[in-house]
Structure 1
Amino acid sequence: MSHKLTTPAAVAATLVALLAAAPASAADYVQDTGSTLVFATKYDGEVFTGTFPGFSTKLSFDPANLASGKLDVTIPLAGAKTGNDDRDATLRGSDFFNVAKFAQARYRATGFRSLGGDQYAADGTLELRGVSKPVTLTFTWTPGTAPVLAGKATVKRLAFGVGGGDWSDTATIPDEVAVSTKVVFKPAR
């Protein structure tokens, strides 16, 4: 004789049993206030830094199940700020970010690697100026009620056509741009 799920209580009991047996899923987070995204490079040997206000991050992360993780960062490029209005205008222009055609950049990673301790790596893809290239973000994870991801990456600007043409001389502006971020998270609702 087969057992049929004929009562709501039987259906509920079966669902609870199935959910309890399912592996724990990664926690889902969204970016909270206090987060920063910074880039640093040089111009004629002088270091300058800039920020991307308004960037947005979604994260699915469980240190016990790194393969299930996901990271999705949207970066509005028009708001890039370096503390120099002329430089900011140049960055928005067609030689650099070309914000009229490419309003945002996006970084996405699926799955993470452990580097030991609280250190991890995301081997993701950066889409910038219509070009998609692999970029690795190494980061630390500080759990808690407001967990923090603190990460660093190196982006080769010329691979994305940023600062090409007259600006392609790496003696004037290095090809490698250092990017760092501190993202404070709250649970996604």
Structure 2
Amino acid sequence: MRMRFVLAAGLAATLSLPAFAADYTQAPGSSLAFAGKYQGETFSGTFPGFRTTVSFDPANPAAGKLSVTIPIATATTQNDDYDTEMRGAAFFDATKFAQATYTASGFRDLGNGQYAADGTLELRGVRKPVTLTFTWTPGTRPLLSGRATVRRLDFGVGGGEWADTGTISNEIAVSTRVYLQPAN
């Protein structure tokens, strides 16, 4: 009888331990996209080659961490004219600023399975706050699906003759679907 009590107490103590954030790395099939308007027409593109690491526990989102590295030279709209201009000095200046980063520590629970990462985007050497709202789908291959709005002129993207927001929208929608796997 005493042995059963000790085993039951040990099991109860184990089950009542707090959950800890799990560490993940990006898995194949993930995407990072952007969209805006140019002369009233929608354009969109992607950043192939981006890399994400996440530490997250839905029971304790405040302990979450997110890090994204974006190789700027990979940005593509699948339109050679747009891509050449976009990677050039007036926009991303990919030769001078090879990558952008987004980092966030501590997430907010917005309810109904929605979370917010109040992070910092560094783009073209400028660091500004950007909030990523996301949903988390748990499982053997968790999915972080999120959206953010980036004001391009805050980062000097498309300045000079391209600063006219009537020609190119200032607000660029960013969306991501990051499939995850346990970090090694």
Q: Same fold (TM over 0.5)?
A: yes
Instruction: Measure, in 2, the Cα distance between the counterparts of 1:22 and 1:98.
Output: 49
* Alpha-carbon offset, residue 68 of structure 1: 1.1
**SS across alignment from 1:86:** helix
Instruction: Measure, in 2, the Cα distance between the counterparts of 1:28 and 1:117.
Output: 23
* Alpha-carbon offset, residue 24 of structure 1: 3.4
Q: How many residues align?
A: 171
Instruction: Measure, in 2, the Cα distance between the counterparts of 1:78 and 1:91.
Output: 9
Q: Could you say which residue in structure 2 is the equivalent of 1:177?
A: 172
**SS across alignment from 1:145:** coil
Q: Could you say which residue in structure 1 is the equivalent of 2:4?
A: none
Instruction: Measure, in 1, the Cα distance between the counterparts of 2:177 and 2:100.
Output: 18
What RMSD in Å do the two structures reach over aligned CA positions? 1.4
Q: Could you say which residue in structure 2 is the equivalent of 1:3?
A: none
Residue identity (%): 67
Deviation >6 Å, runs of 4+: 19-22
Equivalent of residue 121 in structure 1, options 111, 116, 121: 116
Equivalent of residue 51 in structure 1, options 39, 46, 50: 46
Instruction: Measure, in 2, the Cα distance between the counterparts of 1:120 and 1:159.
Output: 24
Does the CA contact (< 8 Å) of 2:113 and 2:135 recur in 1?
Answer: yes
Unmatched 5+ stretches in structure 2: 1-13
* Alpha-carbon offset, residue 50 of structure 1: 0.3
* Alpha-carbon offset, residue 25 of structure 1: 2.2
Once the two structures are superposed, the pairs formed by residues 33-72 of structure 1 within 5 Å of their partners are 33-72=28-67
Instruction: Measure, in 1, the Cα distance between the counterparts of 2:169 and 2:21.
Output: 38
Q: Aligned AA for 1:68?
A: A
**SS across alignment from 2:73:** coil
* Alpha-carbon offset, residue 117 of structure 1: 2.0
Q: Could you say which residue in structure 2 is the equivalent of 1:105?
A: 100
CA-to-aligned-CA distance 1:37-69 (integer Å, 9 cap, x gap):
000011100101000000000000001111211
Q: Could you say which residue in structure 2 is the equivalent of 1:154?
A: 149
Q: Could you say which residue in structure 2 is the equivalent of 1:16?
A: none
* Alpha-carbon offset, residue 126 of structure 1: 0.2
Q: Could you say which residue in structure 2 is the equivalent of 1:81?
A: 76
Q: Aligned AA for 1:111?
A: G
